[in-house]
Amino acid sequence: MSNYPLSYKLSWLPRFLKPSLGGGADGFAPASGTLMEPLPAQTVRLAFVGDISAVANRGAPDCDPAIKALLGGADLVIGNCESPVVDRPSAVLGTRLGTHHAMSERFLAEALAATGLARERLVLSLANNHVLDQGVAGFDETVAALKRLGIRTIGLAANGPVQMVKVGPLDVGLAAFTLWRNADESLFAGRVSMASDPESWPRVDLLCAVPHWDWEFRHFPRAGTRALARRLAGQGVGLIAGHHAHVVQPVERMRDAIVAYGLGDFLGTALARQRWPGRIGGIFVVDVSADAGTRGAVAAYRMHPFVRLRGKGHERLVPVEGLDGGMRGKFEQRLRAIFPSPLVGEGVAEGDG
């Protein structure tokens, strides 16, 4: 049994059809910022992408060269594997309807190649509500498939709450957890991390949280989500990049931490036909100091918005500034409503990094 409140369930379809801008934009930060002047002499670059699924793609997506260059310039890319990786779905009807997710190992490999995501520099979270959509056998098959592909995973209960990753000279701790589940708690327990208490998490150069939180199709996080972010920041988490909303959400600075509440979908997950606000995704790029004295501190960050356009059996990933005039204006207006500073001309910058 899932753990969604009734009000959440009743609001799912209306919000899917019309993603909400309700909730207020007070207290959020610009979509890009420099926290250190001058910038450190040595930095490492982390890039966070949103949910990855095959729901809207029968084949690998087309990806704009600027997006590929941006991802290729990161030292480490972290995303959320929203669909179980299985060759034959066990939940056949649900998978056809889109309520149960699944993608093949071949699709994932081809999608990563098409978008410039190098497996050796990629980490995928399995702490999400859909990870058991194909049952326990599908969960086990997913873990095995990602291992075969050489992709590191986070969010598995068996591996502990924090996975240590060496990124250049820095020791980065990645803590993924989900607040939501689509199956009974007994299936998730012992398999998927659901713990959000960093008191026992190790102290490293930079501790990053990758939560699956908040309510879907709402551009602004709920008060409870912001309260959890404040608690994480107050207990030593320096960087938070969230998933689950399926739409882009704002950035907030609190204490010494940077929070990107929601990155939307990287590859479409919420049915093949989706209203245009849900087609905006974000790539959150963070430069982290590796200098003595500021080691592990965020030096600069930038949200790079892009759009997933529908093609024949697959999506096309393009920067917002690569859209035609009228369509571009519509997407930019939505982004201006989410972020305090306009993103006109500040999308994916080719050669950035």
Mean of all residue pLDDT scores within the chain: 91
Which pLDDT score is estimated for 272?
58
Q: What is the predicted pLDDT for the residue at 343?
A: 52
| Percent share of the chain, pLDDT over 90 | 77
Domain ranges of the chain: 33-338
Q: Is it true that the peptide bond before 89 is cis, omega within 30 degrees of 0?
A: no
The stretch 12-29 carries a mean pLDDT of: 89
Under 8 Å CB-to-CB from 300, ≥6 apart: which residues?
32, 33, 34, 35, 36, 39, 286, 287
By DSSP bridging, strand 152-154 and strand 163-167 are: unpaired
- State pLDDT tens for residues 267-300: 987 665 678 888 999 999 999 999 999 999 999 9
Instruction: Give the type of residue at 10.
Output: L
CATH number for domain 33-338, candidates 3.60.21.10, 3.90.1170.40, 2.40.50.140, 1.10.3720.10: 3.60.21.10
pLDDT-derived band at 348 (thresholds 50, 70, 90) equals low
pLDDT the model gives residue 56: 73
Confidence (pLDDT) at 96: 77
pLDDT band at 10 (very low <50, low <70, confident <90, very high): very high
Q: Closest by alpha carbon to 248, among 273, 276, 227? A: 276
Q: What is the mean pLDDT of residues 117-141?
A: 97
pLDDT for res 270: 61
pLDDT at 344 over 80: no
What is the predicted pLDDT for the residue at 211?
A: 98
Task: Give mean pLDDT, residues 8-13.
Answer: 93
CB atoms within 10 A of CB 55: 22
Q: Is the pLDDT of residue 349 over 70?
A: no
Q: Provide mean pLDDT across the span 102-130.
A: 96
Kindly provide the residue ranges of all beta strands, DSSP E only, lying in 28-169, ordered along the sequence: 32-34, 43-52, 62-63, 76-81, 122-125, 152-154, 163-167
pLDDT exceeds cutoff 70 at 89 = yes
